[in-house]
Amino acid sequence: MTDEECQAAKALSRQTTSGSLSEYARKTLLGKPLILKNHNQFLDDFMTDRLRPEADLKVIGTDFNQVVRRLHALKHLPVLQQWILLNEQGKTQFFCQIKTISNAIEKAYQLWSRD
């Protein structure tokens, strides 16, 4: 095979579930069925968008743990009031991220239910 033919064969094999170029070649030469990968750009975008809120949730969770640790160490009322305000801000961010994830899941469900 020429370099161009080899590159074309590799590109075609990547579009299937074949684990290697030789497996793809054997199946093709012997007339065995090949399973093509179904690429869905929406699902790729969904997974990319899903990773960002997940990282944000980890940061919020870490902040919340720190706030709870500080709560256990509080002895004075003004410090407790400040903690309550910080906790409310963290809770608001947390619920906003949950809403973002929920919307993405709903969008994916609507796409899949159309098919």
Alpha-carbon distance values, 65 to 70, 74, 103 (Å): 9, 15, 26
Q: Is the pLDDT of residue 3 over 80?
A: yes
Q: Is the pLDDT of residue 114 over 80?
A: no
Which two tokens mark 115?
Answer: 């098919």
pLDDT in tens, 64-102: 788 777 777 766 777 777 777 887 888 888 888 888 888
For residue 80, what are the contacts with CB-CB under 8 A and spacing of at least 6?
71, 74
Q: What pLDDT is recorded for position 82?
A: 78
Q: What pLDDT is recorded for position 112?
A: 72
How high is the mean pLDDT of the chain? Answer: 79
